[in-house]
Amino acid sequence: MQAVLGTTAVFAGVLVAYKTRLIRVDRRFYRFVAGAAIGFLLLIIANLLFAAFGGGLCFRTGGLGIVFGIIGVVLGACFLALDFKQVEDGVKYGAPREESWLAAFGLTLSLVWIYTELLRLITISNQAQ
């Protein structure tokens, strides 16, 4: 239940910030999110390699897990802002109805990402207690 409420809160917060223009989605924002996503992907790959070869470093548990979980939620929120911009541009420029599935898929993917990161954070915090 905590992850569902957290995901809903992140969605509502990003939507309000986007509609009030606290978040401006422009080229610079796109570049920042793309760079952060590539870095996060490389981190996940490094973590998988450490786990596969029995390395002692793990980015998904303990204190590092909490830090990277929060980064994952923030990155998911950034992708939500990009999705809102895609929907807004689609409406503004008259995208065909048949293409609406793309925006819906993007929103769903971002929400699932935020949800799983929040689940991971809850699991890590429960293990620490």
Domain ranges of the chain: 2-128
pLDDT at 65: 81
| Res 43: pLDDT | 84
The predicted structure's pLDDT at residue 39? 93
Residue whose token pair is 């920042």: 32
Tell me, what's the pLDDT at 53? Answer: 79
Q: Which two tokens stand for residue 66?
A: 């909490």
Q: What is the pLDDT of residue 60?
A: 66
* Residue numbers in the chain where pLDDT is lower than 50: none
What's the pLDDT at 25?
92
